[in-house]
């Protein structure tokens, strides 16, 4: 065990992101709630830029990190203050929870040293979901936190919002009441299990900033606990808003405990994976009882949302038989196999209301799984996919009857012209519940680059209204991602989500683009790096050709060199033009002159088109010489 | 000199792309024209897949490559056969053409050993542009070549074309006549200078496959001739349809000669760069005469298209003064500086018709430069940008009066909701001349990842109708790209262009996605790699966790392992389902059962929404408890 323990001395990355400073902003209500964000200080007298921050205490220079102790349980007092929970003894961890680990735990990993022996659940008859509180008209501390966080702690400033949000209702300023209303409608969720008091509340919804998820987790073939905890910390450093632990190998229970106790972001899982491990990988041996026990086990640990593939129904399975890539969802394929083998309707569908009772006792959100999502361009938007979506719509409304939070998972592989239909149908059928897609990938032909093929689709569907984008790494389709892949996936999805915020006209989004571009134009290289999503890489790339410290204030880089740098010449032009404006030379000031010239050009272009058109008619429609005329 | 010469023994990459075989397909007309493509052979009895190929003889196992000799001049006989050109002595290369190189050429590079001392131009009064031939009703060998190439040599097959091309007119099958008609209308161009007979003809136009361009070229600060020739060969290996040599350092003339003589793809330049070098980098010292001489110099070498920033007009320059990032185009900033310093209209604009006379004598296409493109999200779609576009429209029609080929350059940095407007305006004002954009980048905040921020915009604007996408590498804004950056940029843009073809409903596009996905589903790993845009990287990523040869036929990878591979389980499901279908168990065959179930779900979802809505009304619109009601 000594060896295994010492592994844990290696590498969760701590320390501030280069150029950033952690800040805690008090909620405007004066309640004392402190919301974590970070600020980037700039040179040249420029105001600091505050940005949304998912990295938790790991990037706080003032925090002490001890992954054996876990994070501070900041939400515990809020949860207890509501007076609707009871404490009880957690379920015993069984060998099968960790892949048949014997009592000597050989081949296993150290259990988390500070497991909560006593856990929380709703008092009998109570409902502890944020949606339930919202519908009672209660504004919780979690809602306050979210409001402040989404505003980046800024004051209300009237700002002309430009963009096209396709009918979303993004407010100029987020109030706790707005958060409450969105939760009550089901249009947003705050995923936070009462047994995960370490989490910093966040919202997933179309009218908030677009969020991203990073997937981690081992497989039977690769990776270990230390690497997975490190990946979680690494992924949130770069911007992951939630993390899913998709482990399918050994030590699933212990791995998850280490992750949740140390995670400031919501953690999602797919409970059917662990259930399958418990029956030795034989899908046909799954039962509702084993599944239910797994739900309780994970609920007590503090999982914030469960992917439940209750839409993979027996009648739908044959629809997938004619596909090019069948069923690409692990959970979906497992349930399909079970349904066919037993010739019965999915037990997840049949027991849905029982699952809902568990969700509401711990405030776990549904992530209604897209088990029949298309895994190839050929299968996009097919019958199987939308059949499942309709069932997810039905289940959304069933869950909402119990005030349980719901989000809907989505595709997949979808060519660009078919993306919009997905958003439209989902909004219609699922009552505007938040949409949470995997990409989508807009072509199949680039394994090795699927963070990009999917980033293209993700940016678009995020713009159309998708609330959270599940990342894809360069290793997709090829193998388990390592920490470098995790970072590339996260940054790709952050930029896609931000591009969607910009296009939707989110009032807070463009501040960062403007600050970075201004820094770029003024050759404040360090500021440009520090404002970027990945300051380390930006600086590294710059320094590959110009490493000297003096280059950080040079008015050029190696792309063009000093004579050809357009930004440098631009500055000279601007200085020159403003000197000219001070002279008697009135016309250079004249915006009208420029506008008139442009108008004259436009008319000349139209004239050119008219002349072409007349020439065409004059030649008896023969200017372009139809086929019969050619030699 | 010996050292410099020996550098040229290093690294142009030759040899077939892994898994591909060069083929030459005879044009259907029976004219004897052979069109280069490549085929990917598959396992398991699957038909070979033929793909468009830009890599030239470098990937032909049967070709002998000698970069000192240059490529075969395959087009020469076609050009001479038209009987409208004359041969003459090329202009003498002057020291200033290579950055003030002395007669001993010290500090320079070896001149290309097989320079054409005698070059071609149109006979007096003749016009050798492909547009001119097209308007005469002539189908040239170049047009035939293009038609066969765009069809990938396939037969006519009636196929249901699905997609949304936003009003483009993509044919099911490309005939030489169709190519002629598109050229005559100006809707497409075939850029090929009569002095670049080594080129394999290609078309740029909305109704053809979306093309991509790779930028290479040294700067005063970085790179050298050997590296640039290598980059050209490397970029076309991975799919660049044209290459621009944007060199701004020394040895511009010699560098370009080595590149053109060895390039099977069209080469573009920005002549103002070399003109600026000739006047020692002092923009104010530029003159029309020096520029004109540079045009002739480059025309004789065989440059296929020139970027001409004739839209940066004096009245527009002050418009750029209020921008966040001013003028980001090198050429645009140079011309702006000249205009202001001289207080005169741009000499490019004033002498446009003189430039046109040169273009038509060599068949060089205009790439009308977007000198005032936006270099930041804040500047997108502003007055300066569209003022220039209107002038480019005016100039398009002027050039067309002389039957000279034209394409229009475009932005830049544009948030997603503003992209469509660019396409719409350009189509309107420029008479559907091909659009050639740089991205656009959809956010500024990710230097280091700008191949991705721009790939997102490029895929969208390619879908909307842009004919060619100019790549961006990870080094954008930070430094000169190296060969690894070139490859990443090319593959990113290839996947974006292909995604656009798919979305437009191009009849030939989806074949590759389907073949790759089928290979993926059937665990033909080698086929999956070979069909991908970058087989080397795909295999390398897979082998990072599963290098053993046996893994290439394994029914899993390290992402999920054998128990959890959804594709493996999917296969089992499919086999099981088809066995069941053979039994008396009729209902599993019933598609109606699945469809009925889905319909029932959809109705249940609608019912759920109605109930929610009635509950809302029943509570007097208070279900979501408007602000006044909250505690």
Closest to A302 in 3D by CA, of A142, A193, A191, A190: A193
Compute the distance between CA of residue A233 and CA of residue A13 in angstroms, rounded to an integer: 7
- Mean pLDDT, residues B203-230: 89
Lowest mean pLDDT among A408-417, A489-498, A544-553, B385-394: A544-553
Report pLDDT digits (tens) over B114-142.
Answer: 898 899 999 999 999 999 999 999 999 99
Q: What is the mean pLDDT of chain B?
A: 91
Which residue in B184, B568, B570 has the most chain A C-beta atoms within 10 A of its own C-beta, making it the best mutation to test that interface?
B570
- Mean pLDDT, residues B471-498: 96
- Give the pLDDT confidence score for residue A9 in this predicted structure: 53
- Give the pLDDT confidence score for residue A16 in this predicted structure: 95
Nearest Cβ partner for B330 among A324, A560, A593:
A560
* pLDDT surpasses 80 at A168: yes
How far CA B362 is from CA of A332, B114, B146, B350, B408, in Å, comes to 61, 21, 20, 21, 19
pLDDT above 70 covers what percent of chain B?
91
Query: Which chain B residues have a beta carbon less than 8 Å from that of A562?
Result: 220
Nearest Cβ partner for A601 among B281, B394, B514:
B394
Contact B138 A627 (CB under 8 A): no
Contact B459 A455 (CB under 8 A): no
Q: Which residue of A has its CA nearest to B279?
A: A563
pLDDT above 70 covers what percent of chain A?
91
- Alpha helices for B34-160 (secondary structure H): 76-81, 130-135, 141-150
* pLDDT surpasses 50 at B462: yes
SS3 (DSSP) at A89:
strand
Contact B478 A559 (CB under 8 A): yes
- Given a contact cutoff of 8 angstroms between Cβ atoms, the answer to whether B436 and B204 are in contact is yes
B434 in reach of chain A (CB within 8 A): no
Query: Which chain A residues have a beta carbon less than 8 Å from that of B344?
Result: none
- Give the pLDDT confidence score for residue A218 in this predicted structure: 82
pLDDT band at B612 (very low <50, low <70, confident <90, very high): confident
pLDDT above 90 covers what percent of chain A?
76
Cβ-in-10-Å burial (0-12, 13-18, 19+) of A284 comes to: exposed
Nearest Cβ partner for B558 among A479, A572, A631:
A479
- Give the pLDDT confidence score for residue A459 in this predicted structure: 98
B533 in reach of chain A (CB within 8 A): yes
Widest distance between CA atoms in chain B? 94
Report pLDDT digits (tens) over B322-350.
Answer: 899 999 999 999 999 999 999 999 999 99
Compute the distance between CA of residue A592 and CA of residue A576 in angstroms, rounded to an integer: 20
Residue with tokens 């505003």: A151
pLDDT band at A6 (very low <50, low <70, confident <90, very high): very low
What are the b/e assignments for A523-537, b being 16+ CB within 10 Å? bbbbbbbbbbbbbeb
Compute the distance between CA of residue B60 and CA of residue A107 in angstroms, rounded to an integer: 53
Compute the distance between CA of residue B567 and CA of residue B521 in angstroms, rounded to an integer: 6
SS3 (DSSP) at B55:
coil
Contact A219 B591 (CB under 8 A): no
pLDDT band at A590 (very low <50, low <70, confident <90, very high): low
B118-122/A406-410 β-pairing: unpaired
- Give the pLDDT confidence score for residue A569 in this predicted structure: 77
A329 is in an annotated binding site: yes
Top-confidence range, A5-19, A60-74, A587-601: A60-74
Closest to A312 in 3D by CA, of A261, A347, A353, A270: A347
Structure tokens at B194: 């009569």
- Give the pLDDT confidence score for residue B550 in this predicted structure: 85
Closest to B242 in 3D by CA, of B67, B370, B365: B365
Compute the distance between CA of residue B187 and CA of residue B182 in angstroms, rounded to an integer: 5
Contact B532 A448 (CB under 8 A): yes
DSSP class per residue in B195-230: T-TTPPP--EETTS--EEEEEE---SSS--HHHHHH
Whether pTM exceeds 0.90 = yes
Positive or negative torsion for Cα A515, A518, A522, A525? positive
Closest to B98 in 3D by CA, of B88, B85, B107: B107
- Give the pLDDT confidence score for residue B1 in this predicted structure: 30
Structure tokens at A310: 């209750």
- Given a contact cutoff of 8 angstroms between Cβ atoms, the answer to whether A137 and A478 are in contact is no
How far CA B381 is from CA of A164, A601, B10, B430, in Å, comes to 15, 17, 45, 16
Report pLDDT digits (tens) over A380-438.
Answer: 999 999 999 999 999 999 999 999 999 999 999 999 999 999 999 999 999 999 999 99
Query: Which chain B residues have a beta carbon less than 8 Å from that of A332?
Result: 566
- Give the pLDDT confidence score for residue B157 in this predicted structure: 63
Query: Which chain A residues have a beta carbon less than 8 Å from that of B569?
Result: 283, 327, 330, 333-334, 336-337
Positive or negative torsion for Cα A393, A397, A402, A408? positive
Contact B397 A545 (CB under 8 A): no
CA angle A564, A565, A570 (to 5 degrees): 110
How far CA B42 is from CA of B61, B243, B512, in Å, comes to 19, 31, 12
Which of A:45-74 have CB within 8 Å of B?
Answer: none
A533 is in an annotated binding site: no
How many residues are there in chain A? 631
- Given a contact cutoff of 8 angstroms between Cβ atoms, the answer to whether B538 and A478 are in contact is yes
Q: Which residue of B has its CA nearest to A627?
A: B177
Compute the distance between CA of residue A185 and CA of residue A168 in angstroms, rounded to an integer: 14
pLDDT band at B109 (very low <50, low <70, confident <90, very high): confident
Strands (E), A142-296: 188-189, 204-205, 211-216, 242-245, 267-269
- Give the pLDDT confidence score for residue B7 in this predicted structure: 43
Q: How far is A494 from chain B (nearest CA, A)?
A: 9
Q: Dihedral through CA A290, CA A293, CA A297, CA A298, nearest 10?
A: 70
Contact A602 B220 (CB under 8 A): no
Query: Which chain A residues have a beta carbon less than 8 Å from that of B452?
Result: 451-452, 455, 492, 495
A34-40/A49-51 β-pairing: antiparallel
- Mean pLDDT, residues B566-579: 78
- Give the pLDDT confidence score for residue B471 in this predicted structure: 98
Compute the distance between CA of residue B270 and CA of residue B333 in angstroms, rounded to an integer: 13
Positive or negative torsion for Cα A331, A337, A338, A343? positive
- Mean pLDDT, residues A50-60: 97
- Give the pLDDT confidence score for residue B582 in this predicted structure: 52
- Given a contact cutoff of 8 angstroms between Cβ atoms, the answer to whether A604 and B400 are in contact is no
B34-40/B305-308 β-pairing: unpaired
Lowest mean pLDDT among A179-193, A252-266, B544-558: B544-558
Query: Which chain B residues have a beta carbon less than 8 Å from that of A545?
Result: 221-222, 479-480
Positive or negative torsion for Cα B69, B70, B71, B72? negative
Contact B517 A378 (CB under 8 A): yes
Rounded to the nearest 10 degrees, the angle between the axes of helix B330-342 and helix A566-582 is 20
Q: Find how far residue A393's CA is from the centre of its chain.
A: 22
- Mean pLDDT, residues A528-554: 92
Structure tokens at A178: 């707005």
- Quickly count: other Cβ atoms within 10 Å of residue B548's Cβ: 8
* pLDDT surpasses 90 at A567: no
Positive or negative torsion for Cα B609, B613, B614, B616? positive
User: Which one is predicted more confidently, A548 or B62?
Assistant: B62
User: What's the complex ipTM?
Assistant: 0.94
Q: Find how far residue B352's CA is from the centre of its chain.
A: 26
DSSP class per residue in A445-484: S-TT-HHHHHHHHHHHHHHHT-SEEE---TTTTTS---HH
pLDDT band at A576 (very low <50, low <70, confident <90, very high): confident
B204-205/B188-189 β-pairing: antiparallel
Q: Which residue of A has its CA nearest to B137?
A: A630
How far CA B280 is from CA of B200, B246, B274, in Å, comes to 36, 17, 10
Compute the distance between CA of residue B568 and CA of residue A598 in angstroms, rounded to an integer: 62
Report pLDDT digits (tens) over A302-346.
Answer: 999 999 999 999 999 989 988 999 999 999 999 999 999 999 999
Query: Which chain B residues have a beta carbon less than 8 Å from that of A531?
Result: 445
B337 in reach of chain A (CB within 8 A): yes
Closest to A308 in 3D by CA, of A370, A386, A253: A370
DSSP class per residue in A12-63: ---SPPTTEEEEEEE-TTSS--EEEEEEE--STTPPPEEE----GGGG-TT-
- Give the pLDDT confidence score for residue A409 in this predicted structure: 98
User: Which one is predicted more confidently, A4 or B607?
Assistant: B607
Compute the distance between CA of residue A514 and CA of residue A501 in angstroms, rounded to an integer: 14
A5 in reach of chain B (CB within 8 A): no
pLDDT band at B478 (very low <50, low <70, confident <90, very high): very high
Q: Which residue of B has its CA nearest to A374?
A: B517
My answer on whether omega of the bond before B441 falls inside 30° of 0, hence cis, is no
Compute the distance between CA of residue B255 and CA of residue A373 in angstroms, rounded to an integer: 51
How far CA B528 is from CA of A51, A327, B49, in Å, comes to 41, 18, 12
How far CA B425 is from CA of A600, A612, B60, B433, B558, in Å, comes to 16, 18, 43, 12, 49
B398 in reach of chain A (CB within 8 A): yes
- Mean pLDDT, residues B504-508: 91
Closest to A238 in 3D by CA, of A437, A494, A15: A494
Nearest Cβ partner for B580 among A340, A456, A502:
A340
- Give the pLDDT confidence score for residue B278 in this predicted structure: 93
Structure tokens at A585: 């030379």
- Give the pLDDT confidence score for residue B111 in this predicted structure: 86
């Amino acid at each position: 065990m000594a060896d295994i323990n010492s592994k844990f001395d290696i590498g969760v990355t701590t320390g501030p992101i280069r150029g950033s400073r952690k800040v805690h902003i008090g909620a405007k209500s004066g309640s004392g709630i402190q919301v974590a964000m970070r600020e980037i200080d700039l040179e040249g007298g420029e105001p600091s830029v505050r940005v949304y921050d998912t990295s938790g205490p790991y990037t706080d220079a003032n925090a002490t990190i001890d992954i054996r102790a876990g994070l501070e349980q900041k939400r515990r007092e809020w949860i207890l203050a509501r007076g609707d929970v009871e404490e009880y003894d957690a379920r015993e961890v069984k060998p099968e929870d960790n892949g048949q680990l014997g009592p000597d735990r050989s081949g296993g990993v150290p259990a988390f040293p500070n497991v909560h022996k006593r856990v929380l659940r709703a008092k009998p008859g109570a409902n502890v979901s944020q949606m339930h509180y919202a519908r009672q008209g209660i504004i919780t501390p979690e809602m306050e936190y979210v409001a402040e966080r989404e505003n980046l702690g800024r004051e209300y400033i009237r700002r002309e919002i430009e963009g096209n949000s396709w009918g979303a209702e993004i407010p100029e300023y987020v109030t706790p009441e707005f958060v409450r209303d969105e939760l009550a409608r089901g249009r947003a969720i705050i995923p936070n299990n009462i047994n995960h008091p370490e989490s910093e509340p966040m919202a997933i919804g179309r009218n908030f900033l677009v969020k991203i998820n990073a997937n981690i987790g081992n497989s039977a073939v690769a990776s270990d606990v230390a690497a997975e905890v490190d990946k979680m910390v690494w992924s949130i450093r770069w911007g992951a808003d939630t993390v899913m632990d998709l482990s399918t190998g050994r030590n699933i229970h212990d791995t998850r405990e280490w992750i949740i106790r140390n995670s400031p972001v919501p953690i999602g899982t797919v409970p059917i994976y662990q259930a399958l491990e418990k029956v030795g990988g034989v899908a046909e041996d799954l039962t509702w009882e084993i599944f239910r026990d797994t739900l309780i086990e994970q609920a007590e640990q503090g999982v914030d949302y469960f992917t439940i593939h209750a839409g993979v129904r027996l009648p739908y399975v044959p629809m997938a038989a004619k596909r090019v890539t069948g069923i690409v969802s692990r959970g979906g394929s497992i349930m399909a196999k079970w349904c066919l083998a037993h010739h019965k309707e999915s037990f997840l569908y049949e027991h849905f209301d029982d699952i809902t009772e568990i969700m509401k006792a711990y405030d776990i959100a549904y992530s209604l799984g897209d088990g029949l999502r298309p895994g190839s361009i050929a299968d996009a938007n097919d019958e199987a996919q939308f059949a499942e979506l309709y069932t997810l719509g039905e289940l959304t409304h069933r869950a909402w009857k119990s005030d349980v939070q719901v989000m809907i998972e989505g595709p997949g592989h979808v060519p660009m012209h078919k993306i919009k239909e997905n958003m439209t149908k989902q909004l219609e059928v699922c009552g505007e519940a938040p949409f949470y897609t995997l990409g989508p990938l807009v072509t199949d032909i680039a394994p090795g680059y699927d963070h990009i093929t999917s980033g293209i689709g993700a940016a678009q569907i995020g713009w159309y209204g998708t609330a959270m984008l599940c990342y894809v790494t360069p290793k997709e389709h090829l193998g388990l991602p390592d920490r470098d892949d995790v970072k590339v996936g996260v940054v790709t999805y952050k930029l896609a989500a931000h591009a969607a915020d910009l296009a939707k006209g989110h009032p807070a989004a463009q501040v960062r683009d403007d600050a970075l571009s201004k820094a770029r134009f003024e050759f404040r290289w360090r500021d440009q790096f520090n404002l970027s999503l990945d300051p380390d890489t930006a600086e590294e790339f710059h320094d590959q050709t110009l490493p000297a410290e003096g280059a950080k204030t040079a008015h050029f880089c190696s792309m063009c060199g000093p004579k050809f740098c357009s930004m440098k010449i631009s500055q000279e032009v601007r200085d020159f033009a403003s000197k000219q404006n001070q002279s008697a030379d009135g016309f250079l000031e004249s915006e009208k002159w420029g506008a008139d010239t442009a108008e004259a050009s436009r008319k000349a272009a139209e004239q050119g088109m008219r002349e072409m058109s007349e020439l065409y008619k004059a030649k008896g429609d023969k200017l372009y010489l139809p086929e019969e005329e050619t030699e």
